[in-house]
Homo-oligomer: A and B are copies of this chain.
Amino acid sequence: MYTISDIARLTGISAYTLRYYEKIGVLPDPTRQEGRKNGIRRYSDQDLRFIRFIHGLKQTGMKLEEIAAFVQEGCLLADDYPVMHVDETLKKRIEILDEHLEHLEKQMQQLEAVRNFTLEKRAFYVNLQAQRGPIK
């Protein structure tokens, strides 16, 4: 089990930000030491993996608001939520992920395009350099 500063160290997200994310629903409430209300946050390996996943979504352009929507669906899912709505919740989560997958595809394409363009530019400059002959 990890503390909040462990998680901060392991993920590169500050403790301030982790609490902030929790407050705005971007991260689910972690379990607390001894289940007390204001006990120390205890994160499992699974929690760590989840936080890294969320961080990945964020770093690939998903807005905090969108992430929060996704996470909230999952929180409903985890509890003894009325069975009738579980299918809805699963459907929504899948939809959100599908949308992000599309976004990821677009980003990959753009990244590829920018990379090619950048390589071209680079080659152009290198060529200019070569034309000027070796530098003494």
Residues of A within 8 A of B (CB): 53, 56-57, 59-60, 86-87, 90-91, 93-94, 97-98, 100-101, 104, 107-108, 110-115, 117-119, 121-122, 125-126, 128-129, 132, 135
Contact = CB atoms under 8 A, between A and B. Distances in A.
A87 B129 contact: yes
A115 B104 contact: yes
Contacts of A56: 110, 113-114, 117
Contact of A108 (B87, B108, B126): B108
Contacts of A119: 101
The copy count of this chain in the complex is 2
Contacts of A98: 122
Contact of A122 (B87, B94, B117): B94
A53 B124 CA distance: 14
B110 A59 contact: yes
Contact of A94 (B86, B111, B125): B125
